[in-house]
Structures are given as C-alpha cells and as structure tokens.
Amino acid sequence: MSIIYHVFPDQVPPVRPAPPLPPVRTDEIPRLVEQGKVTVADALRMMRSNGQASPPGRKEPDAQQRERVEEVSEELESLVGLCRVKKLVSELKAFVEIQRRRARAGLATEPTVLHMIFRGNPGTGKTTVARILGKILKEMSVLEKGHLIEVERADLVGEYIGHTAQKTREQIKRALGGILFIDEAYSLARGGEKDFGKEAIDTLVKAMEDHKDELVVILAGYRDEMTRFIRTNPGIKSRFPIHMDFDDYATEELLLIAEAMLERRQYRMAPEARARLVQVLDGGGVERPQGNARFVRNLIEKAIRRQAVRLVSAEECSREDLMIIQVQDFAEALPNKEALDSSFRGT
C-alpha cells in the first residue's frame, strides 16, 4: 500500500477540483448518459469511483454497520498481544474508509487490494484474526458475507490432471463474498514444476482477478517457509501487498490467555497451580514449549479433565471445589517433557 504525492512547480496554476458526483450504481450509468443527465466525462469519473468504492449493487455502510465495525474492532483489541497486527488492521480500516470518501467526492482513488500474507508459528492467532477481519470487511461493505473458508493443500490439490483446478474452483466458490484462508500455503509449491500444486496457484491467481470485488485471499504459514515461498514466486508478492507477522507470545501473555480461557469456562487457578503453569510456560527445566495459544488451550483442557477425575469420587463437592484448578491438575497434565510434546501434538 503506497501513498503517492504529486508536487507541482510554483508557476503552474492550481487545478480546481471537479465537483463531487452523487453515488450511482455502475449498471445505471449508461442509462443516465443516454438520457443526457450526465456527460461522458462525468460517467467515466463515476465508473472509476465505483471501481474503488463499494462493489456495484452493494450499499454503503449505514450507521448501524459502522457501530458494528467498532464492536468487532473491540473484539480484536481484546485479544492478548498482537500489537503489530492490530496496528495494521487499524490502518486497513482507515484506508478503506478514506478511499470510499474520496470516491464519493469524485477524487482519484487507490486500488483496494486486500489479499494478505500471514506469517507466524502455530497458535499465534492467524485464524482468529482472519475471522475477525472477515466480520470487519463485511460491516464496511467491502465483502458481502465476510465468512471464512479455511483450507490446506489437500483441499485444493487433486490426484490427476484437471482435478486440481476443479477442487480449487470449488473452494473459491465457497469463499466468494468472504475470505479464503490457505494454511501452510507454501506446501503448494513444494513439489516442483510437475506438481499439481502449481495448478492450484494458477487457478487461484485467475480467480483473484475474476472475482476481485468478491474475495479476499489470505496465505498463511510459518514465517521462514512463507518468506521462501514468496521469494521463489515473484508473482505472489505483487498480488498480496499486505503482510502481517504474528510474533510468538511471551510467558506473561500466555498466562493471560490461560486465565481468560479458564474464566470463560468458570474455572480459576489456585496460587500454586498458577505458579506451576508459569514454570511450564517458561520451559520447566526443559525447552520452552511450542504451540503458543494452541499449547495453552490443550493444557487447560487437560487440566480440567484431570480435575474432573480428581473430584468425581468425592461424596461432596462445594462450588469452590468445582471451580478451582489445583497444582496437581497441572502436574498430572504435564509431568515431564514427553507430556509437553504430547500436549503440543494434541494427543
């Protein structure tokens, strides 16, 4: 996304801006020209503006939608960490809104290309942010539905010639009006020139042109693999101008995520359990666990099951007993490094 500044020499007289044109649907413009209600020059301005404002036939966001944009934005802000991602999403919202205002004023607009690259380790919030983005773009009338279709290589690549294009088009059709989220996108280019993954990429690129007002595509995966994927596929970089990097969570952030997960389920940790969790998140004497928020979710779910096993044979349980996660629940959930690795795999 770039901003171009035009500097005119002092001797050139200032250019008076053209008066703003009323918003008109693209399919109505030819009729207005035939009726003599607008000039050909004004018609061209309208068509250019419509190309960068809301897609034809889609209404401008009303007051309720703007309110919902703020509500969804608050949902993003409530997530732990992700400072750089939140800042970039805020910039995208401002960019889309200002381009719409410029279009209404009859001014030249920048292309609103929102295809994105998400780079980061598992559990860093990529899918969650993509889902929230879909909601924001729907309420801003950029996307009609704003839903998220999450796919991977197996959903796109077929087993014989022609099968890949068919499978990819089916997923694209499902995603129209929303976001197509391709996880581990670099796997599409791993098999070399004869691999069917290249056919999936070609089909995807064509669909992005054919449905530029109906679809946002997000390619996601590990940072290093995605960087190599972009470097070896120059056409990808130019078609995906927005890059978001998702950093690993710090121990303090993972602890906040764990506490929020427990609170939503109406549980809380005893002080000793909290100390044990911090020890585990710091590595507990072994290598720091991978998986970020996904690891924490697995750990919390295991601790809840261990608590259930611990309490089920008791004759009486108080409300407090049912809510408290004790240190032994974490200790039994993750007694050693093998259990750490197992939790990350989700086994």
- The β-bridge partners of 150 are 181
Instruction: Note the helical H segments in the chain.
Output: 29-34, 40-52, 63-77, 83-104, 126-139, 153-156, 163-175, 197-210, 223-232, 234-239, 251-264, 271-281, 292-311, 319-323, 327-333, 337-345
Contact 197, 153 (CB under 8 A): yes
pLDDT at 151 over 90: yes
pLDDT at 174 over 70: yes
Kindly report the average pLDDT of the chain as a whole number: 79
Residue-wise burial string across 296-318, b where 16 or more C-beta atoms lie within 10 A, e elsewhere? bbbbbebbbebbeeeeeeeeeee
Contact 139, 72 (CB under 8 A): yes
Contact 27, 56 (CB under 8 A): yes
What confidence score (pLDDT) does residue 339 get? Answer: 46
What confidence score (pLDDT) does residue 264 get? Answer: 92
Greater confidence (282 vs 343) lies with: 282
pLDDT classification of 58: cutoffs 50, 70, 90: low
pLDDT classification of 59: cutoffs 50, 70, 90: low
Lowest pLDDT segment from 82-96, 188-202, 215-229, 326-340: 326-340
| DSSP 8-state secondary structure symbol assigned to residue 150 | E
Q: What is the CATH number of domain 251-345?
A: 1.10.8.60
The residue ranges of every structural domain in the chain are 63-246, 251-345
User: Token pair 């295991």 is at which residue?
Assistant: 302
Q: How far apart are CA 163 and CA 6, in angstroms?
A: 49
Q: Which tokens in the block code for residue 331?
A: 């200790």
- The β-bridge partners of 217 are 180
Radius of gyration of the chain (CA): 25
Topology agreement, domain 63-246 and domain 251-345: no
User: Token pair 């703007």 is at which residue?
Assistant: 66
Fold adopted by 63-246: Rossmann fold (3.40.50)
Laid out side by side, the sheet with 242-246 consists of: 148-151, 178-183, 215-221, 116-120, 242-246
